[in-house]
Structure 1
Amino acid sequence: MRPDLERPARRRVHRTDWMALLSGMLFVSAGIVFVSDPSVEPLIMLAILVGGLGMAGLVAILAKVIRR
């Protein structure tokens, strides 16, 4: 019998990439707002996106610090 078949299978654990997850959710929600209510000012949406990306970065940094 082959030696690699005798060992139990190991599960790979992937950590959550909080920056990518939160940034994706932010851009999807911004797209939904633009489609549903086009009267929103682009400058206000830009400020919300930049602020949201900053918050996502902060969460990603905090998650990395807590993991260690």
Structure 2
Amino acid sequence: MALDQLKAFLVEMQKDEGLKQRVLAASTADDVARIAFALGFEFSGDELLRFSGKKVGRVTVSKQEHPGEYH
């Protein structure tokens, strides 16, 4: 299940400072999903966005709004 994969990735991110920095530098939720996929975790950028506002351990997922962003 993608939600389990997402939660496992967030736990892993808390243990790995380099991974955390890569995720924080990512531009989009899809970029984060690609980073996760390369490490064996499977979830989509949309699933990550739907998880916004929820917390796993010390990580709270939040959608970043950028000025000039179009939807």
Structure number, greater radius of gyration: 1
* Structure with the higher strand share, 1 or 2: 2
Going by fraction, where is helix more abundant, 1 or 2? 1
So what's the TM-score if we normalise by structure 2? Answer: 0.32
* TM-score scaled by length of structure 1: 0.33
Structure number with higher relative contact order (C-alpha < 8 Å, ≥ 6 residues apart): 1
